[in-house]
Amino acid sequence: MATNKGKIGVLIEEHFDETEYIRFNEFFPENGYEVDYMSHLWNQESLKFNGNDHQAEATVTVEVNNVNLADYKGIILIGGYAMDRLRYEPSVKAGKPNQAPAVEFLRKAVKAMDAGNLKIGTICHSMWLFCADTELLKGRKVTCAHNILCDVENAGATIVYEGEETAATHIDGNLISGRHPGVVEEFMQLFLQELDKKQQVAVG
């Protein structure tokens, strides 16, 4: 295993993309980064989540409410339907912004990202979490899965295209986005390059 360069936090919930989950667990530790999975645990010490194909299972013990962003070099929102589930609020009120713990966490993460202190990665459907608050996406350029294009555009982002597809990957400042699990290798390499670039700047 490579020298420890720090930690990457991955937001996860039920129905996560298993291709991404498996590769994150292999790729990032091989390249020096520890991976922590985090979620809203609903007052439980741990929760188990199943992937889309019901082949992979993730046990999560990190409550998103308790995360200190300073402990992480980057945050990734996993694909599949996990981020839609993390937008859920038990009660809502007209005119009140989404108060789900993961959305509140993302607001803090975006502030850290815009300040240059954090990299955030999204892939496939995970841009859904950003769509819970239009202030998070307004004016940004991103890529995502084809079937959530309207969601992302309605949240204020500009979609980047390559011919008749959304771009495989895109970097907008410290936000790295990927189209779907089919480009997970390119996405991870890009995220790693951006993390390592930040490390080099910090060392320099």
Neighbours of 33 (CB within 10 A): 23
Cβ 56 vs Cβ 50: under 8 Å: yes
Tell me whether strands 161-162 and 158-159 are parallel, antiparallel or unpaired.
Answer: unpaired
Q: How far apart are CA 93 and CA 135, in angstroms?
A: 18
Tell me whether residue 129 is in a domain.
Answer: yes
The pLDDT tens digits of the residues spanning 96-136 come to: 999 999 999 999 999 999 999 999 999 999 999 999 999 99
pTM across the whole model: 0.95
Total tally of structural domains belonging to the chain = 1
Tell me whether residue 22 is in a domain.
Answer: yes
The pLDDT tens digits of the residues spanning 14-29 come to: 999 999 999 999 999 9
The domain of 29 spans: 7-196
Tell me whether residue 188 is in a domain.
Answer: yes
Q: How far apart are CA 47 and CA 179, in angstroms?
A: 28
Q: How far apart are CA 87 and CA 114, in angstroms?
A: 22
Tell me whether residue 202 is in a domain.
Answer: no
**51-to-12, 21, 38, 78 alpha-carbon distances in Å:** 10, 9, 15, 11
Tell me whether residue 1 is in a domain.
Answer: no
Tell me whether residue 203 is in a domain.
Answer: no
Radius of gyration of the chain, Cα coordinates, nearest whole angstrom: 16
Neighbours of 53 (CB within 10 A): 11
**Does the structure show a pLDDT above 80 at 202?**
no
The pLDDT tens digits of the residues spanning 33-85 come to: 999 999 999 999 999 999 999 999 999 999 999 999 999 999 999 999 999 99
Tell me whether residue 160 is in a domain.
Answer: yes
Q: How far apart are CA 100 and CA 132, in angstroms?
A: 9
Confidence of residue 159 (pLDDT cuts 50, 70, 90): very high
Here the CATH number for the domain that contains residue 92 is 3.40.50.880
In the three-class reduction of DSSP (H, G, I as helix; E, B as strand; rest coil), residue 131 is classed as helix
Tell me whether residue 80 is in a domain.
Answer: yes
